[in-house]
Structure 1
Amino acid sequence: MNMTKSIPREEGLDHSLSLLREGYMYIPNRKKSFASNVFETRLLGQSAICMSGEKAAELFYDEEKFMRNGVAPKRLQKTLFGEEGVQTLDDEAHRHRKSMFMSLMTKNSLEALHEITKTQWQFAAKKWEQMEQIILYDETKEIMCRIACEWGGVPIKEEEVKERAEQLAALFESPTALGPQHWKGRHARKQVEHWIGGLVNQVREGNLTPPEGTALREISLHKDLEGKWLEEEIAAVEVVNIIRPIVAIAIYINFTALAIHHYPEQKEKLETADAKYFQMFVQEVRRFYPFFPMAAAKVRKDFTWEGYSFKKGTLTLLDLYGTNHDAELWDNPDLFNPYRFSGWNNSPFDFIPQGGGDYMMGHRCAGEFVTIEIMEVSLKFLVNHLIYQLPEQDLSYSLVSMPSIPKSGIILTDIKKIM
């Protein structure tokens, strides 16, 4: 006979404001107080189950038990995700759309991305040598925008780059913000989708021919399960779902620079390290520093897991940041240590900075390959091809603000490019 037990429950009418006040630590704080990897609360006026850890991640990405359609709040759809994108799909519709994204991640395509990234860093460094100082976060948003557009087959004029980079950044900087910052994100979403939608239309009318295998071409001409092109608005959302996350890599680049500064012994190792150590360093940056705080789904049907009862329709949040800092999974998780990845078993459920599960069939971020490639090239450039100084500044970062970015944006001075 199956015995069920009560999920620990946070008392109160609604804890949405607590989530905004505590940010990345909202779930870890309650996990600690309840001494449980699972607890129940109320968010956005509804019951919600919060989970953390490897077993919870494996459950969360079981598509027989959880669904994504109708999960994302409107404020996220109007800023971060867009409406009717791949993140909102389930079952065959999701697998078909996801295969389109994965088709962009070929070996040749990633090699092209590698070269584009190197070229853009060289271009930026040449400009920076003529400047008294730069704010790395602002500059890397523009670098990532150029990379995203060139790799994605999206035409963009140099005089447009700064504006488009800021618009794309507003999509991931604004979802949890209140007031003007949030409305800035909603306005940016309209502007970006209008821009990309116009390009999609040009591709379909034969007035624009992006290179084969690029996001703009493949998404514009992609056909759904009924053999029809995606609606122009949805195609635009999906193209943005390629270029927006690349611009967001600017956050990781800043944390990479921060790690180089805070751990000078690591910089010494990197100066003579092989490719494997660079990859381990990048993975540790992605594990150690905050990026996405959590992922959301809804219970598809009633089921029982480890004695806990999950009811159909219940909002469920998986703690990404907390799982990446789980002491049961990671030895001394609050220490920065790239060597921990030398023996990592490549589990799809213990290391989940951009979600977990299977790339091809599940909801794990298709752009993870892109993130790692760009970060490795960027790390090598910062370590081996750039000399700079960090003047006194506020390099702290918040675990409340989502996303979290070093407060100064990392100011660099006396920049020199070296071969």
Structure 2
Amino acid sequence: MSVSHKQSLPIPVEHGVPHTKAFDSTLKLLSEGYPFFQRRCNELGSDVFTTRLMGRRAICVSGPEAARMFWQPGRFTRRGAIPPTTLMLLQDFGSAQTLDGEDHRHRKAMMMSLQTPADRARMVTIATEEWRARFARWPGQKRVVLFDEAESVLCAAAWRWAGIPAADIDHPRLTREFSAMIDGAGNAIRRTLQGLVLRSRTEHWAKNLIQAVRGGRTAPPPESPLAVIARHRDRDEQPLPVDIAANELINVLRPVVAVARFIIFGAQAMHEFPEWRPRIATGDDATLTMFAQEVRRYYPFFPAVGGRVLNAFDWRGLHFDEGTWVLFDMYGTNHDPAIWPEPQRFKPERFARWQSDAFDLVPQGAGDYLTGHRCPGEAMTVDLVKSALHLLASEVVYQVPRQDLTISLSRMPTMPASRFLIDVAAPVR
């Protein structure tokens, strides 16, 4: 789908593309959820359209061409492009995601320095230890809620990996707080308010950690995320303000807990497509990679991401003024038949010979990690999903009882309704 233009001069984007019929589409977005953008693209015959959301004019775009446009470095800012409550829950003000230009590149380089292959391997090792400790307890339980277990395991792995002393951790409480932040980032007022209340407690805890490192009362390993963030200096050679450093520490920990959703979707895929489970149990890396990437493509994570035009530009004969609000359709792009044949089928083998151009598979953003706003922890996400699914397939004997495995596309972020229940017989080991 595309819009062709014969005009030789760029025209304002709001006059050059189709507009939705509704005066304001907010209620439609909330009721339809993830498919909202792709449905409008199909109805209007265009991968670019305009609408109103929360009373504001928005330009909505989908597909790989739009991804190249949207993730062009320096073109968009995230400031003013995300609902304030969502921003406060997932990134907060002053974080790397809210910066632009050289300030963003400098801070992002620090965040990426925590995502080296060695860092990722250490995280997987710690997570594996936590999973196996959890497996040992499962046979004594009548039924296991796998989603809750995954969040708890990943939270423990995250704070251990980050170099946070165990004495400073209330693990059940921290897991609940991170879980509430993620779950509250969608469209339910109750969940949003709960997430904001619990995040304030997490911020207080994180500030104390930063101050303890700076005051010499805590001495984490120098290469650990806690030490790196506490001692980071921005371009002005000044330490980060305590509240900003605390936010960045949270922004390193919380996304690890969010990986639980991909793990649960992967467990559901093994249940719905059981022919893949013995292949995953072998531990073959190529098979695990194919499966994990298809889980990330097929199942819904976050529906879209917003940006405001930082510097006016032209694209496809259209002119985007400074300040224009643009929403990029992540879910629809991951289900675009022009990129993914039979997009509604779960087919891990589509990734057997896949070579990404960085603008096709976009569950966590697109483009360059260092210069753009793509999620710095994407590679770690894949590693954690692969490891967890292999462990579940090879080291635990369990049955999946009757339950409601419906995945509501109007709930953002979503998960299986039952949170994926399993009955454990015994660990393999």
Which category of TM-score, normalised to the shorter sequence, fits these structures? Answer: over 0.9
Q: Which amino acid aligns with 2:106?
A: H
Cross-structure match for 1:187? 197
Paired residues for 1:16-415 under 5 Å:
16-156=26-166, 160-272=170-282, 274-415=284-425
Unaligned runs of 5+ in 1: none
Task: Give me the whole-angstrom Cα distance separating, in 2, the residues matched to 1:265 and 1:170.
Answer: 35
Task: Give me the whole-angstrom Cα distance separating, in 1, the residues matched to 2:361 and 2:189.
Answer: 34
Q: Aligned with 2:234: secondary structure?
A: coil
Q: Deviations over 1:352-384 (max 9, x none)?
A: 110011012211110112101111110110111
Change over 3 Å in CA distance of 1:66–1:17 after alignment to 2: same
Q: Aligned with 1:413: secondary structure?
A: strand
CA shift, 1:304, in A, is 2.3
Is contact 2:10-2:314 (8 Å) kept?
no
Q: Aligned with 2:212: secondary structure?
A: helix
CA shift, 1:408, in A, is 0.3
CA shift, 1:78, in A, is 2.6
CA shift, 1:98, in A, is 0.2
Q: Aligned with 1:62: secondary structure?
A: coil
Q: Which amino acid aligns with 2:312?
A: D
Task: Give me the whole-angstrom Cα distance separating, in 2, the residues matched to 1:381 and 1:76.
Answer: 33
Unaligned runs of 5+ in 2: 1-7
Q: Which amino acid aligns with 2:421?
A: I
Task: Give me the whole-angstrom Cα distance separating, in 2, the residues matched to 1:158 and 1:389.
Answer: 37
Is contact 2:278-2:393 (8 Å) kept?
no
Task: Give me the whole-angstrom Cα distance separating, in 2, the residues matched to 1:53 and 1:385.
Answer: 39
Cross-structure match for 2:20? 10
Q: Aligned with 1:129: secondary structure?
A: helix
Is contact 2:73-2:371 (8 Å) kept?
no
| TM-score, normalised by the number of residues in structure 1 | 0.97
Q: Aligned with 1:316: secondary structure?
A: strand
Task: Give me the whole-angstrom Cα distance separating, in 1, the residues matched to 2:119 and 2:131.
Answer: 19
Q: Which amino acid aligns with 2:317?
A: G
| TM-score, normalised by the number of residues in structure 2 | 0.94
Q: Which amino acid aligns with 1:361?
A: T
Is contact 1:69-1:90 (8 Å) kept?
no
Q: Report the more deviating stretch, 116-125 or 174-183.
A: 174-183
Task: Give me the whole-angstrom Cα distance separating, in 2, the residues matched to 1:148 and 1:195.
Answer: 15
Q: Which amino acid aligns with 2:360?
A: D
Task: Give me the whole-angstrom Cα distance separating, in 1, the residues matched to 2:111 and 2:183.
Answer: 24
Is contact 2:18-2:49 (8 Å) kept?
yes
Task: Give me the whole-angstrom Cα distance separating, in 1, the residues matched to 2:424 and 2:302.
Answer: 33
Task: Give me the whole-angstrom Cα distance separating, in 1, the residues matched to 2:358 and 2:218.
Answer: 39
Q: Report the more deviating stretch, 351-360 or 170-179.
A: 170-179
Change over 3 Å in CA distance of 1:273–1:178 after alignment to 2: closer
Q: Deviations over 1:257-290 (max 9, x none)?
A: 1000000111133234621111111111001100
CA shift, 1:35, in A, is 0.9
Q: Deviations over 1:231-254 (max 9, x none)?
A: 111111101111100001111111
CA shift, 1:145, in A, is 0.4
Change over 3 Å in CA distance of 1:18–1:321 after alignment to 2: same
CA shift, 1:29, in A, is 1.0
CA shift, 1:157, in A, is 5.2
CA shift, 1:3, in A, is 5.5
Q: Report the more deviating stretch, 307-316 or 44-53.
A: 307-316
Change over 3 Å in CA distance of 1:3–1:249 after alignment to 2: closer
Q: Deviations over 1:374-399 (max 9, x none)?
A: 11110110111111011110011111
Q: Deviations over 1:27-67 (max 9, x none)?
A: 01101101110000111221110100000000001134322
CA shift, 1:159, in A, is 7.8
Is contact 1:278-1:376 (8 Å) kept?
yes
Q: Aligned with 2:340: secondary structure?
A: coil
RMSD: 1.5
Q: Deviations over 1:90-117 (max 9, x none)?
A: 1000000000011111222222112101
Task: Give me the whole-angstrom Cα distance separating, in 2, the residues matched to 1:313 and 1:206.
Answer: 44
Change over 3 Å in CA distance of 1:222–1:256 after alignment to 2: same
Q: Aligned with 2:393: secondary structure?
A: helix
CA shift, 1:301, in A, is 2.9
Change over 3 Å in CA distance of 1:273–1:223 after alignment to 2: closer
Change over 3 Å in CA distance of 1:345–1:133 after alignment to 2: same
Cross-structure match for 2:4? none
Task: Give me the whole-angstrom Cα distance separating, in 2, the residues matched to 1:223 and 1:140.
Answer: 34
